[in-house]
Structure 1
Amino acid sequence: MDTTQLPKYQQIIETIKEKISKGEWPIGSKIPSQRKLAEEFGVNRSTIITALEEQAADGLIEGKTGVGTKVINNTWTLLASRQSANWSEYIDTGIHRASEKIVQEINDLEMDPAFIQLSKGELSPEIFPVQTMQKVLKEAADELSELGYEEPKGYLPLRQAVSEYLAASGIYASPSSILIVSGGLQALQLVSLGLVQRGAPVFLEKPSYLYSLQLFRSSGMNLKGLPMDKEGIITKSISLKKYEKGKSILYTIPSYHNPTGILMTEKRRRELLDVCRIEQLPIVEDDIYRELWLDEMPPPPLKAMDKNGQVLYMGSLSKTLSPGLRIGWVAAPEPVIDRLADLKMQTDYGSSSLSQRAAEKWLSTGLYQKHIENVREQLRVRRHTALNTLDEHLSGIAEWNSPEGGFFIWLKVPSTIPIRLLYRQAISRKLLLNPGSIYSDGPNHFIRISYAYASLGELQEGILILGEEIRKLL
Structure 2
Amino acid sequence: MWKPDRQSKKPLYEQIADHLEKRIAYSEFPPGSLLPSERKLAEQLGVNRSTVILAFAELRSMGIIESRTGSGTRVSRTKWGATPKHTPNWNRYAEGGSFLPNLPFLRKIRDALSQDPSLIDFASGELAADLAPLDEIAALMREHHYTSYLGYDNPQGYIPLRQSLVDYLQKYRGIQTTESSIMITSGSQQSLYLITQCLLSPGDAVAIEDPSYCYSLPMFQSAGLRLFRLPIDQYGVHPEDIRELYKKHRIKMVFLNPNFQNPTGAVISSERREQLFSVASELGLPIVEDDPFSLTAFEGTAPAPLKSMDSNGNILYIGSFSKIAASGLRIGWMVAPNSIVQRLADARQQMDFGLSVIPQQVAAQFIKSDYFQPHLDRLQIQLQFKRDLLIESLRRELGDQISFVTPQGGLHLWCMLTPKVPDGKLLDEAIRRGVAFVPGSVYGSDSGFVRFTYARAKTEEIESGIAKFAEALHSLTD
Q: TM-score, normalised by structure 1?
A: 0.81
Mapped to 2, the partners of 1:444 and 1:248 lie a distance apart of 30
Relative to structure 2, which stretch is displaced further, 463-472 or 117-126? 463-472
Deviation digits for residues 350-374 of structure 1 (CA, Å, limit 9, x no counterpart): 0111010000000122322221111
Relative to structure 2, which stretch is displaced further, 464-473 or 266-275? 464-473
- 8 Å CA contact 2:433–2:472 kept in 1: the answer is no
1:29 is aligned to none
- Match 1:114 to one of 113, 118, 123: 118
- Match 1:77 to one of 76, 80, 88: 80
Paired AA for residue 178 in structure 1:
I
Distance apart, 1:139 and its partner CA:
4.5
2:155 is aligned to 152
* 1:367 to 1:79, Cα distance in 2 relative to 1, 3 A: farther
- 8 Å CA contact 1:110–1:120 kept in 2: the answer is no
Mapped to 1, the partners of 2:474 and 2:90 lie a distance apart of 45
Deviation digits for residues 161-188 of structure 1 (CA, Å, limit 9, x no counterpart): 0011111222111000000001111001
- 8 Å CA contact 2:161–2:364 kept in 1: the answer is yes
Distance apart, 1:302 and its partner CA:
0.3
Alignment partner of 1:241 is 2:232? no
Task: Give 1 or 2 for the bigger CA radius of gyration.
Answer: 1
Mapped to 2, the partners of 1:106 and 1:301 lie a distance apart of 32
Residue 297 of structure 1 aligns to a residue in which SS? coil
1:204 is aligned to 208
Paired AA for residue 203 in structure 1:
A
Distance apart, 1:417 and its partner CA:
2.0
Distance apart, 1:414 and its partner CA:
2.0
Mapped to 2, the partners of 1:327 and 1:110 lie a distance apart of 24
Relative to structure 2, which stretch is displaced further, 257-266 or 235-244? 235-244
- Match 1:352 to one of 344, 351, 356: 356
Distance apart, 1:395 and its partner CA:
1.2
Distance apart, 1:464 and its partner CA:
1.4
- Match 1:102 to one of 105, 109, 123: 105
Distance apart, 1:248 and its partner CA:
0.9
- 8 Å CA contact 2:421–2:447 kept in 1: the answer is no
Mapped to 1, the partners of 2:300 and 2:231 lie a distance apart of 25
1:420 is aligned to 424
Identity %: 35
Mapped to 2, the partners of 1:254 and 1:377 lie a distance apart of 22
Mapped to 2, the partners of 1:277 and 1:79 lie a distance apart of 71
* 1:77 to 1:370, Cα distance in 2 relative to 1, 3 A: farther
Paired AA for residue 98 in structure 1:
P
2:469 is aligned to 466
- Match 2:168 to one of 165, 170, 175: 165
Distance apart, 1:190 and its partner CA:
0.4
Residues 173-212 of structure 1 aligned to structure 2 (within 5 Å): 173-212=177-216
* 1:79 to 1:215, Cα distance in 2 relative to 1, 3 A: farther
Paired AA for residue 283 in structure 1:
I
Mapped to 2, the partners of 1:79 and 1:274 lie a distance apart of 73
1:56 is aligned to none
Mapped to 2, the partners of 1:415 and 1:237 lie a distance apart of 31
Paired AA for residue 127 in structure 1:
L
1:325 is aligned to 329
Deviation digits for residues 190-240 of structure 1 (CA, Å, limit 9, x no counterpart): 001111111111101111111111122111121111111110011221121
Deviation digits for residues 371-419 of structure 1 (CA, Å, limit 9, x no counterpart): 1111111111111111111121111111112110001111101253222
- 8 Å CA contact 1:435–1:446 kept in 2: the answer is yes
Alignment partner of 1:449 is 2:452? yes
Distance apart, 1:473 and its partner CA:
2.7
| Structure 1 stretches of at least 4 aligned residues deviating more than 6 Å after TM superposition | none
Residues 224-263 of structure 1 aligned to structure 2 (within 5 Å): 224-238=228-242, 239=244, 240-244=246-250, 248-263=252-267
Deviation digits for residues 266-294 of structure 1 (CA, Å, limit 9, x no counterpart): 22212112112222210000001111111
Q: TM-score, normalised by structure 2?
A: 0.80
Alignment partner of 1:366 is 2:370? yes
Deviation digits for residues 57-76 of structure 1 (CA, Å, limit 9, x no counterpart): xx89xxxxxxxxxxxx9x87
* 1:319 to 1:77, Cα distance in 2 relative to 1, 3 A: farther
Residue 258 of structure 1 aligns to a residue in which SS? coil
In the alignment, structure 1 segments of 5+ residues that lack a partner are: 1-58, 61-72
Taking only aligned residues, the RMSD between alpha carbons, in angstroms, comes to 2.0
In the alignment, structure 2 segments of 5+ residues that lack a partner are: 1-62, 65-75
Residue 471 of structure 1 aligns to a residue in which SS? helix
- Match 1:92 to one of 95, 113, 120: 95
Mapped to 2, the partners of 1:363 and 1:201 lie a distance apart of 37
Distance apart, 1:80 and its partner CA:
7.7
- 8 Å CA contact 1:412–1:445 kept in 2: the answer is yes
* 1:110 to 1:138, Cα distance in 2 relative to 1, 3 A: farther
What count of residue pairs does the alignment treat as equivalent?
A: 400
- 8 Å CA contact 1:172–1:304 kept in 2: the answer is yes
Mapped to 2, the partners of 1:224 and 1:472 lie a distance apart of 36
* 1:425 to 1:273, Cα distance in 2 relative to 1, 3 A: same
Residue 288 of structure 2 aligns to a residue in which SS? strand
1:407 is aligned to 411
Deviation digits for residues 3-44 of structure 1 (CA, Å, limit 9, x no counterpart): xxxxxxxxxxxxxxxxxxxxxxxxxxxxxxxxxxxxxxxxxx
2:12 is aligned to none
* 1:78 to 1:309, Cα distance in 2 relative to 1, 3 A: farther
Mapped to 2, the partners of 1:81 and 1:171 lie a distance apart of 65
